[in-house]
């Protein structure tokens, strides 16, 4: 069996926390050669923002050459488009994510939360929060929004689990082959969903887009839109919910504060997003011309990985230690959803889901606690979204 590769320093964690080495990198070498997949890794706060906001000199279109994992450009995936094409597609999709429409989704989200709270209660204590709550809540909400039959969720989850790119792929040919086969099956499945929605648009996300802009989008673009949405909802949101709850249980003083002051919930959501930073690095950029950044010269064609974890969690030189603070005044300044024109279009919906899920869980289970020693938790360091395999809880 192939041995897992050693993670580069900017991707290592100690539980949920960045390693001291990441802080040292951010301070001393904010732009450094990447020993992993890409050419450069950027960990400095200002340097990361500079790269992510500069669409003139850095492209998000997947590069033809990478050291390991290759990822083709996907139609409909906003992260794979540069301006002006990116602006055209985002303009078509933005009306489906207006504040009014997101607020209108809240009752549906809360109904799913209530349903899964009962299932969690029936299966414990103890019970696995990931299996009974953190995975099904965003999963069922996504099914509703995309017109996917609820009974297909388990099958969809299996395809997503296998197809998810991993840093292990380059070291396991059989895993890479299974991933490619699962990817084909998954895209074919989404193609069927798009075809049904085009014939009879529903009230959800795809239906709204098709009614308002169906003639302006190809089926391939709509499949890409659905794929991007599911990747955020079923991969990122699942792990964000699980790790967000784990964070609160690890900080009983902050958990008690939130129980005593429920008006802090919105601030708590932002602080949990910052603290967890479930997506450690932004989608890679490719330099379109020679760029001098952080005292280093990045050559045209070289690839750059930007550490969101470094921006969100490392401390400034001489500054106070990073800590969880649910009263943080500038909490929304984090980069958990990216930065610049590629800021996550579904961020508002992700916040609604996290808010309803955390509030419902704490109200239903006042004595919520971890049911195993923290040392027994198995994290997912090689996944694109950092996470935990299981999260046994009691109450």
pLDDT, tens digit, 9 for 90 and up, residues 86-140: 999 999 888 888 888 888 889 999 999 999 999 999 999 999 999 999 999 999 9
Q: What is the predicted pLDDT for the residue at 241?
A: 97
Instruction: Please give the residue that has the higher pLDDT: either 62 or 374.
Output: 374
Average pLDDT of the segment spanning 135-149: 88
Residue 168's pLDDT band, with cuts at 50, 70 and 90, is: very low
What percent of the chain has a predicted confidence (pLDDT) above 70? 93
Residue 252's pLDDT band, with cuts at 50, 70 and 90, is: very high
Q: What is the predicted pLDDT for the residue at 395?
A: 96
Most confident range (mean pLDDT) of 79-93, 134-148, 240-254, 328-342 is 240-254
The closest of 195, 216, 181 to 148, measured between CA atoms, is 195
Residue 64's pLDDT band, with cuts at 50, 70 and 90, is: low
pLDDT digits over 172-214, tens only? 567 677 878 888 888 899 999 999 999 999 888 888 889 988 8
In the predicted model, is pLDDT for residue 68 greater than 50?
no
Look up residue 204 and give its two tokens. 């959800």
Average pLDDT of the segment spanning 298-321: 92
Q: What span, in angstroms and rounded, lies between the C-alpha atoms of 336 and 319?
A: 21
Cβ proximity of 290 and 298 under 8 Å: yes
Q: What is the predicted pLDDT for the residue at 205?
A: 82
Long-range contact pairs involving 298-301 (C-beta distance under 8 Å, separation at least 24): 298/31, 298/39, 298/40, 301/63
- Cα of 237 vs its chain's centroid, Å: 6
Average pLDDT of the segment spanning 342-348: 92
DSSP 350: H
Cβ proximity of 272 and 337 under 8 Å: no
Yes or no: domain 68-279+333-394 corresponds to CATH 3.30.70.3270:
no
Average pLDDT of the segment spanning 302-312: 97
Q: What is the predicted pLDDT for the residue at 132?
A: 96
Residue 65's pLDDT band, with cuts at 50, 70 and 90, is: low
Q: SS3 letters for 210-251?
A: HHHHHHHCCHHHHHHHHHHHHHHHHHHHHHHHHHHHHHHHHC
Q: Where are the alpha helices (DSSP H) in the chain?
A: 20-28, 45-53, 85-93, 99-122, 129, 136-146, 153-163, 173-199, 205-213, 219-230, 237-250, 252-260, 265-276, 308-313, 347-364
Residues near 158 by beta carbon (within 8 Å), at least 6 away in sequence: none
Q: What is the predicted pLDDT for the residue at 172?
A: 56
Mean model confidence pLDDT for the chain: 89
Q: What is the predicted pLDDT for the residue at 167?
A: 47
What percent of the chain has a predicted confidence (pLDDT) above 90? 65
Residues near 293 by beta carbon (within 8 Å), at least 6 away in sequence: 31, 42, 47, 50, 51
Where exactly are the structural domains of the chain? 68-279+333-394
Instruction: Please give the residue that has the higher pLDDT: either 112 or 165.
Output: 112
Query: pTM (2 decimals)?
Result: 0.91
Residue 164's pLDDT band, with cuts at 50, 70 and 90, is: low
Cβ proximity of 5 and 68 under 8 Å: no
Q: What span, in angstroms and rounded, lies between the C-alpha atoms of 145 and 225?
A: 12
Q: What is the predicted pLDDT for the residue at 192?
A: 92
Backbone dihedral angles phi then psi of residue 42, each to the nearest 5 degrees: -115, 125
Distances (CA, A) of 130 to 134, 295, 308, 314: 5, 43, 24, 28
In the predicted model, is pLDDT for residue 316 greater than 70?
yes
Look up residue 345 and give its two tokens. 């279009």
Q: What span, in angstroms and rounded, lies between the C-alpha atoms of 72 and 191?
A: 18
């Amino acid at each position: 069996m192939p041995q897992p590769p050693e993670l580069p320093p900017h991707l290592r964690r100690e539980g949920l926390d960045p390693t001291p080495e990441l802080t040292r990198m951010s301070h001393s070498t904010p732009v450094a050669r990447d020993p992993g997949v890409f050419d450069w890794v950027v960990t400095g706060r200002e340097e990361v923002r500079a790269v992510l906001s500069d669409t003139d000199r850095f492209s998000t279109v997947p590069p033809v050459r990478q050291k390991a994992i290759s990822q083709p450009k996907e139609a409909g995936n906003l992260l794979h488009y540069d301006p002006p094409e990116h602006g055209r597609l985002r303009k078509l999709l933005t009306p489906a994510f207006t504040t009014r429409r997101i607020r209108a989704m809240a009752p549906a989200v809360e109904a799913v939360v209530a349903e899964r709270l009962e299932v969690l209660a029936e299966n414990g204590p103890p019970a696995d929060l990931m299996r009974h709550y953190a995975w099904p809540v965003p999963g069922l909400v996504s099914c509703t929004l995309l017109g996917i039959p609820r009974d297909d969720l388990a099958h969809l989850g299996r395809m997503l689990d296998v197809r998810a790119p991993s840093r292990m792929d380059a070291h396991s040919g059989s895993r890479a082959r299974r991933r490619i086969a699962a990817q084909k099956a998954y895209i074919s499945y989404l193609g069927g969903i798009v075809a049904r929605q085009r014939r009879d648009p529903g009230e959800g996300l795809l239906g709204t887009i098709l009614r308002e802009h169906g003639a302006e989008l190809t089926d391939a673009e709509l499949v890409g839109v659905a794929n991007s949405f599911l990747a955020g909802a079923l991969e990122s949101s699942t792990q964000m919910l699980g790790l967000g709850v784990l964070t609160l249980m690890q900080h009983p003083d902050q958990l008690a504060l939130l129980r005593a002051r429920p008006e802090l919930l919105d601030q708590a959501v932002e602080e949990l997003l910052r603290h967890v930073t479930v997506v450690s690095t932004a989608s890679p950029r490719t330099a379109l011309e020679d760029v001098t950044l952080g005292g280093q010269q990045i050559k045209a064609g070289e690839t750059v990985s930007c550490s969101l974890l470094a921006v969100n969690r490392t401390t400034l030189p001489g500054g106070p230690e990073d800590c969880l603070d649910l009263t943080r005044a500038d909490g929304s300044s984090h980069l958990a959803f990216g930065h610049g024109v590629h800021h996550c279009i579904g961020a508002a919906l992700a916040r609604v889901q996290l808010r309803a899920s955390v509030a419902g869980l704490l109200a239903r289970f006042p004595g919520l606690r971890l049911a195993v020693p923290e040392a027994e938790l198995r994290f997912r360091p090689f996944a694109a979204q950092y996470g935990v395999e299981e999260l046994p809880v009691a109450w």
